[in-house]
Structure 1
Amino acid sequence: MTDAAAPDPTEARPARGRKPGGGREARRRDRSAPQTGGRVPYIVRGIPTYDVLGEENLLRIEAAADRILAETGIDFRDDPEALELWRRAGAEVQGVRVRFPPGMLREIVKTAPAEFTQHARNPANNVRIGGRNVVFAPAYGSPFVMDLDRGRRFGTLQDFENFIKLAQSSPWFHHSGGTICEPTDVPVNKRHLDMVYAHVRYSDRAFLGSVTAAERAADSVAMARIVFGTDFADQNCVIMGNFNVNSPLVWDGTMTRGMREYARAGQGTVLVPFILGGAMGPVTSAGAIAQSLAETLAGCALTQLERTGAPVVFGNFLSSMSLRSGSPTFGTPEPAIGSMVIGQLARRLNLPLRCSGNFTTSKLPDAQAMMEGTMSMLAAVHCGANYILHSAGFLDGLLSMSYEKFMLDADLCGALHSYLKGVQVDDDQLAVDAFAEVGPGSHFFGCAHTMAHYETAFWDSELSDNEPFEKWEANGAADAATRANRLWKKRLGEYEPPPLDAGIDDGLRDFIARRKAAVPDMWY
């Protein structure tokens, strides 16, 4: 895979001028414009990752994963071609059960890139995945959507498009994501075409394609080729798919055929176990981590057997459950600290990492939602995650995509941009001359150093209310969720689609029309 210069499917876009007015509101307007201000295509972390286990314990987890792989094995169901790939690679194949000699999978994944570029149709928005890079993408997969006005309801294509527009309008996201919510008003076997088109039409950032069937994965890749050109797409990552293990220890054919479709085309795969401790894995963190390592490592290796050097992201989704009720729980401390260990293991494999996200079981965009979400997002940034899916909107244990939570989480992502920069130390930042100017007992409000930095010194929240109580009360005493409700409506009202080449648009529409006409509608 090479990182060549992408053909630019956008037209030249004039820079947005600064509107009349100044101060805080003007800075907020600048931040809302994706092509201006301090927006970056992705974050390069300025702080180190956080390691919680020493070498001895990491070796013990790796040894446990090796035993699971060699003694118990993993089922690869409904995919004879995958079984044949394993047989030729030297694994032991008995029916659909595959067992792996210790060290075999680690050797195979050495051909996967440690870092790669996913190209966007606007080259300024290309993302670099791996290394010290961090990419934020919205939440993924909710059948329901929710807002303060209409409550909880099934998602529609309009909701799906709205969330793409909201992500595109925010400087704090770097990736358009994938199935942000299920558009349940479109047939199951055709909605992937509308979703991929919506990502291309309403965003100019990188995106995920469909994974729910091999033919839908193939359609997603074909549409990406229309956008980027076949030759360029064959040599570069222009689309990715997010695939889940059927934990415990099952890769089903729907997933493996789809991920092989992406890998065969040289496109990216994000491979993720979804382990609820006590249900699909052990209740103990160490056991769930060993299971996760075994399952993900097997998937990553399969992509390399399909096409050597295909980009793959080592994924992980640890979660817990209420052992009294059997209900899943999200944003809890045990999976958060477990993510730290997963980060260490991924770095030892030299693979890019998707880990953790903004998780919560709360049914409203409330204090529980923000507490749980912040815990799991901090775990993601500290464990070294490179691609953070579920960065915004996740509510109700991922069953609901919330408009208000999306805006609150976008604000948190903005704060994390500043947090991940770390602390810069140079003569200007040390401000020794400012101390000489101000002297003892005075203040720094009007000194030259403050005036030079006041617009950029601190991250400025779009949703927090920092006014005195009396002013907040006089302005309506709105809580954070109410302010978020107003903001998402404002963003959608101001949204302007990024330009798209007319020939590409026509090509996509023609492809969609032909594919939809070829098969009858399916609703389940």
Structure 2
Amino acid sequence: VEDYNINWFYACLAATSKHVMSGVNDEKGLKDVIEMASMIAGGLDKLKERPFISLTACFAISPLKLCTQSTRIMQEANRNLIPVALSSAPMAGSTSPLTMAGTLAQLHAEQLAGITICQLTRAGAPVLYGGIPGMANLKTMGYSGGAVEFGMMNAAIHQLSNHIQVPNYNSAGLTDSKLPDAQAGYEKAFSALLASMGGSNYIHHSAGMLESMLTIAHEQFVIDDEIIGNCCKVLKGIDVDAEHLALEVIDSVGPGGNFITDPHTMTHLRTEYYYGNGVTDRKSREKWEKDGCIDTRQRALDIAKKLLESPKPSYIPEKIDKAIRKKFNILLEI
């Protein structure tokens, strides 16, 4: 348990060059993570200038109560200019009013309190409005992450954060399904598209998770990557300019012609439409049957296996990695 935080962040930083956000258990865990990240960055000042780690601080215990330990962790991050997502996760009908508007009103009050604490701790501390509203399944009193209302409330979060001009993070891509099936597909697609079209700045929980965050599946990551890719395509919108309107091309092809071999088609063949990561099937039925009638989950599982079997580069330079392992009890062998 003592080495949990440092190993969690180490595993992520060794496996990706992207930004890493997570939580920590205590202030010592945060200090260790900041020290390790500073070693990778080339010093604490450089890390502060361009932080590639950030913290999820579950500072709020809904309704309207502060978590002492998480608030202290949040403030320590503030002092070191590590960006903090102010996680507040009320469940409609359980820890917030049953109505969506009531849940959002309570959450907004919790967020304003968290932002105030951060700025009193260190003026200008980088924060994200971290509202992640959910809803309770009143039949079981469990968490319901796949409901369309979950997506609606998380889409509304950006409007609340934008009102006070603070960037936000929230949730999308959750499902109550226990395996990668049709239910998982439509529940995830609804919330992912709602949050992205709502304007959210940072969306987490968006890939791999099943059973309202109790389970993950490797193949679900692949399917969710496809869903997210489609959301990104929707956000890009439709380009409307002389080149894309193609009026001259329409005129040159003329009535009854076709555009299959036209140079304009060749120019935009690979850029106009989203072709995905390979998990979506658009073959003819005959070709699909000939290839074994493989469904989405199996195609995703095949892709996931290939990715897991591929070489794993380490993104931490060898010299720095040795120094980190000398200072901390790193359990992961690369």
TM range (shorter): over 0.9
Whether 2:205 is the aligned partner of 1:402: answer no
Further displaced range: 288-297 or 337-346: 337-346
Aligned to 1:231: 45
Whether 2:302 is the aligned partner of 1:470: answer no
> Which residues of 2 match residues 386-425 of structure 1 at below 5 A?
386-425=201-240
283, 302, 318: which one pairs with 1:486?
302
Deviations 1:366-421 (A, max 9, x none): 11111111111112112211111112111111011211111100111222222111
Deviation at 1:363, TM superposition (A): 0.2
Other structure's SS at 1:212 match: coil
* Structure-1-length-normalised TM-score: 0.60
Task: Tell me the distance in 2 between the aligned counterparts of 1:502 and 1:322.
Answer: 49
Q: Which amino acid aligns with 2:15?
A: Y
Deviation at 1:358, TM superposition (A): 0.6
Task: Tell me the distance in 1 between the aligned counterparts of 2:211 and 2:146.
Answer: 11
Aligned to 2:179: 364
Aligned to 1:505: 321
Whether 2:159 is the aligned partner of 1:340: answer no
Aligned to 1:455: 270
Other structure's SS at 1:342 match: helix
The verdict on how the C-alpha distance between 1:499 and 1:288 changes in structure 2, with shifts beyond 3 A counting, is closer
Deviation at 1:491, TM superposition (A): 1.0
Report how many aligned residue pairs link the two structures: 328
Deviation at 1:503, TM superposition (A): 2.4
Q: How many percent of aligned residue pairs carry the same amino acid?
A: 33
Q: Which amino acid aligns with 1:205?
A: K
Deviation at 1:216, TM superposition (A): 0.9
| Runs of 4+ that moved beyond 4 A | none
Task: Tell me the distance in 1 between the aligned counterparts of 2:88 and 2:37.
Answer: 26
Aligned to 1:109: none
Aligned to 1:349: 164
72, 93, 96: which one pairs with 1:281?
96
Deviations 1:107-162 (A, max 9, x none): xxxxxxxxxxxxxxxxxxxxxxxxxxxxxxxxxxxxxxxxxxxxxxxxxxxxxxxx
* Structure-2-length-normalised TM-score: 0.93
Task: Tell me the distance in 2 between the aligned counterparts of 1:323 and 1:414.
Answer: 34
Deviations 1:46-78 (A, max 9, x none): xxxxxxxxxxxxxxxxxxxxxxxxxxxxxxxxx
Deviation at 1:234, TM superposition (A): 3.4
Q: Which amino acid aligns with 1:195?
A: W
Question: What is the RMSD computed on CA atoms of the aligned residues?
Answer: 1.7
Whether 2:4 is the aligned partner of 1:191: answer yes
Task: Tell me the distance in 2 between the aligned counterparts of 1:340 and 1:502.
Answer: 42
Indicate if the aligned counterparts of 1:354 and 1:387 stay in contact, CA closer than 8 A.
yes
Aligned to 1:241: 55
Further displaced range: 225-234 or 462-471: 225-234
Task: Tell me the distance in 2 between the aligned counterparts of 1:251 and 1:458.
Answer: 47
Structure 2 runs not aligned, ≥5 long: none
Deviation at 1:502, TM superposition (A): 2.3
The verdict on how the C-alpha distance between 1:256 and 1:421 changes in structure 2, with shifts beyond 3 A counting, is same
Q: Which amino acid aligns with 1:302?
A: I
Indicate if the aligned counterparts of 2:23 and 2:57 stay in contact, CA closer than 8 A.
no
Q: Which amino acid aligns with 2:305?
A: K
Structure 1 runs not aligned, ≥5 long: 1-187, 517-524
Other structure's SS at 2:61 match: coil
Deviation at 1:209, TM superposition (A): 4.3
Indicate if the aligned counterparts of 1:444 and 1:450 stay in contact, CA closer than 8 A.
yes
Q: Which amino acid aligns with 2:85?
A: V
Further displaced range: 190-199 or 481-490: 190-199
Indicate if the aligned counterparts of 1:210 and 1:216 stay in contact, CA closer than 8 A.
no
Indicate if the aligned counterparts of 1:313 and 1:352 stay in contact, CA closer than 8 A.
yes
Q: Which amino acid aligns with 1:303?
A: C
Task: Tell me the distance in 1 between the aligned counterparts of 2:16 and 2:291.
Answer: 35
